[in-house]
A and B are shown apart, each in its own frame.
Chain A
């Protein structure tokens, strides 16, 4: 009985949904005055997506992409544009010109055009990546004079997809359109052809904010797909509208053989250029063309710690738990080395670009006596994107040795804001606002806007915080007394010992404590996804991040030849997946917009091996300061990055 009620309710909801946005399958209404047929898209582009014969595939061209992606680029088609055409027949009885306009929209990462419950425009549909002519002030374009001869006449035109297609002032700087600040999204694109009579244009039947998508209506942009397919434009007479399916699939796959750029603002090549090469450095060629840069970490005061003066190869020297405990107890404070997880001191020395196999290796450099290094190292993409399915194929350094002792590294695959300026602000948090960048306390002033966003995979040796009854774990700590050697060597708690071969895969969204989501909460919160149950943890109401933790085998993730990590960042949810092959991924983290604010600004991808202060990870069985400095380079290798 209970189930049948549930099913009935589900059917009603489904019916309502179908009765809303979905009940207008797209408009292709012929006019009495003209007829349109044979709308063809991308006629000069032939590469097909392996997933669909109807979808064409294009890889983003990173050459010159520092100023923004163009789809296609001048290297991809003869003139750097796609060709389109349609045929029109004039039924009016007199020769005349007609007007047409082409729109496009990213279909993979969009909000629906309508609200769930009716035909109103979805309040966030105007965030969708849609565009039209590059110059948005060019409204409808006139066809040549079409004779009323009862024949179809072909009209062809060109288009390219560019960043900031609405030419919003927000992305202008020094009077220049910084199209890279709102790059085209990856995923599938549809096209919408609108044709109408010159009279309709003359009489301004179609509002200016639709003809020119750069204009606002009631202080907000209106999505033309909504307008023509569901809104007022649906009823207009003598307005032909035809949408395509997902005609174009755009994938970003940066060429790892193209090298790694080092920003001269961070490191003056004259002083620090000792390790610069053709494939790593600050040359103009790299500046314009390479998709990756060496990441420069921001180090704050909380990252500092006093480290034991020991250099060891934890992974290979049979470094045992007794070694760890002994060294933890042995040293006096004046013997410790004050360390902050340093930014690299000599760029490119830690980077190895293999142009033959198109891989990039990153090295956490070994220490030598007096030259103490716990340096975080990594690469960052240089072109930001909003949303996408980020998949990386990597072999990052192992984290645990056979005794279960951690080498202190956090392997991280993460997305971070493309810029801390206003142009990159996230959607406004209308409920109390965001707290400023992390590191601050609970009493900092909230703001409705923030440009900071971060979505993380962080993999290290730590414990789970959920269920809360297991946290914090009660530990025995070594006691330093020469006459009680047994006090020095204490076992790990059994709860930790049970997972001695496992590392924690921590999936985090930094939502900057915007309490707007309906189920925003603190502590351990259950989240279900496709039959899997996850527990998201937030320390406090003011804590800026939400984390889910899954223990996984260190050997499986980092001892195999490679492993896949994927962050699927969608407008309303984030899904973290890992797996041995791209088609064998499993979900290890899931969050949606009901529990956390999903960022909608532009972010960059970082792959890094970092030394974190374990004060950031309460309950960790090993403390960073008692882990030796690395005796050998810890190497991570990146085989492939794709954003789909």
Chain B
């Protein structure tokens, strides 16, 4: 090579190197270069992964203490991740695709708190979201750039962003990485990283709010949502603490359990002729509580039995009715097959109760009773019982001269447990002072469609006849047979309204009225006057019992509220709520 050629060659080489150097400087200056840290073996567990689908919260409190973590600063808890000087990246928060549903991953959101120490005159860095293959090949990245010449120092900043992921082919072995890349001289700290992969999934069959439905406008349609709210107002109760009723002298308490069963009835006479609540624990009468409106407190009594009956097994079907016409209610129950009829007679001393037992075969019942309800015949102080067998065979039971009598009323096909799931209750829904009606709410086991039938009972002719029936046209969100029902005269018109308490995916308590031809959903029942935001409907477990607990003209709800786990700002509680005034006049 000639000397001049050699010079040109070296000059050319020098130019290439110089150009490359300038390029590198440019890249570094304008942050085009981003490190791609290797996939790592260590795992930092998300602290709250189980609670929110596809949402991962890293509080960085757990894991081995090592140089990656620091207790010098923390946004929450005691630790954060330290990212020392320029060109350093934080620990990687990795989420393998195998651990979440990535099928429709089209977006992700990510955020972290970053701490900037004192004397950090410039803040420069990136919060990086990457999707890489198991071999660390980059498939997608989103960078949140920070370039702040005059940041507030000695302060935490929230950095967040959204990744819109398009045209990326995923593999089950891919990995999501989130990390912070520090590009300033001072160390920074990172804490409380939030990662949401995809749109946050909603549990249940369908999203609650469907953004695609935009052409709906409000035209009130009978028995179609939305429904107005009827508010039951909180009564003052001074002697409850969480789920316990405290004694007035403060020396004792009566603790209620969410597995208890609560039956409302008029079991003994009080000054205001109000109802009491019988508590059944493990299916067996355990005690009473009742409300003393004058002193704003609950009273309680634990029960003992005067006669010593061994409960081989707890009763299965149970109802409250004044079967002997003495002005106070009894509890009538059937246990499992071979069946007995159990009759609990409260004593005037509320601390005790007599129990009587009779084999069902002895009173003409051939098969097991699957449902039982009280029935009030016209012009009779005494209440009777409607008892339905598994086949749908329906019987009327009355108690006379200390003996039970049974009359067959025929068969209600829809009460046959082979084909239907049903719930039956008797109340005066449409007769206004006449005999009770029998309401059967049922659903076809195969189709899951819900229907109802309303019956009149002709005691003389010994038959029942359907006077009204209907279905819910797929809007089966109200009168499921599995719901809990109460029938009471809420508005004082002499006819009973129906309260339905649903326990499906959401709180659902509705007030329903029957007319001559159909039913009408009057509205949703809600509560008001509760402490802070402790609305009973906000609890995971809400047990409701309805009765005239506060005075004998007003329907009240006794509530026992609890959660499956401890929620600090939502303590377990007992309450009493009354329909002091109906906000909407159902007659309109």
Contacts and interface: CB of A to CB of B under 8 A. Distances in A.
A370 B225 CA distance: 11
A471 B532 contact: no
B109 A482 contact: no
A328 B111 CA distance: 23
B145 interface: yes
B200 interface: yes
A414 B347 CA distance: 76
Interface string B100-113: 00000000011101
Interface in B145-172: 145-146, 148, 157-162
Nearest to B569: A322
A336 to B, nearest CB: 7
Given A479-B203, A481-B204, A495-B160, 8 more contacts: A336-B209, A467-B146, A469-B146, A480-B505, A482-B504, A486-B565, A487-B51, A493-B158
Interface in B238-279: none
Contact of B109 (A370, A468, A472, A495): A472
A490 B202 CA distance: 14
A481 B157 CA distance: 33
A244 interface: no
A330 interface: yes
Contact of A479 (B52, B158, B160, B220): B52
Contacts, number: 158
Contact of A337 (B111, B224, B226, B569): B226
B208 A332 contact: yes
A470 B159 contact: yes
Nearest to A467: B148
A135 interface: no
Contact of B160 (A306, A337, A469, A487): A469
Interface in A538-558: none
Closest 7 CB pairs of A and B: A309-B226, A474-B111, A481-B203, A495-B158, A320-B533, A474-B109, A335-B225
Given A330-B507, A335-B225, A485-B540, A493 B216 contact: no
A468 B146 CA distance: 8
B564 interface: yes
B367 interface: no
Contact of B216 (A306, A477, A483, A487): A306
B218 A337 contact: yes
B53 interface: yes
Interface string A608-632: 0000000000000000010000000
B159 A335 contact: no
Contacts of A489: 538
B507 A472 contact: no
Interface of B: 51-53, 55, 57, 75-76, 109-111, 113, 127, 144-146, 148, 157-162, 192, 194, 196, 200-204, 207-210, 213-218, 220, 224-229, 477, 503-507, 532-533, 535, 537-540, 563-565, 567, 569-570, 584
Interface residues of A, number: 50
Interface string A312-335: 000000101011001011111111
SS class, residues of chain A in contact with chain B = loop
B52 A476 contact: yes
Contacts of A467: 146, 148
13 contacts: A323-B535, A326-B538, A331-B208, A333-B208, A337-B226, A338-B217, A369-B584, A467-B148, A479-B203, A482-B504, A486-B51, A487-B52, A495-B158
B151 to A, nearest CB: 9
A517 interface: no
B306 to A, nearest CB: 42
A473 interface: yes
Interface in A448-501: 467-477, 479-490, 493-495
Contacts of B538: 322, 326, 485, 488-489
A473 B112 CA distance: 10
A82 interface: no
Q: Which of A334, A483, A485 has the most CB of B within 10 A?
A: A485
B202 A493 contact: no
B218 A372 contact: yes
Given A333-B208, A369-B584, A470 B160 contact: yes
Contacts of B202: 479-480
A332 B476 CA distance: 13
B160 A338 contact: no
A338 B158 contact: no
A481 B225 CA distance: 20
A330 B52 CA distance: 17
B224 A482 contact: no
Given A337-B226, A487-B203, A472 B213 contact: no
B505 A481 contact: yes
A476 B55 contact: yes
A479 B584 CA distance: 32
A469 B505 contact: no
Contacts of B158: 470, 473, 493-495
B265 to A, nearest CB: 29
Given A330-B208, A474-B196, A493 B214 contact: no
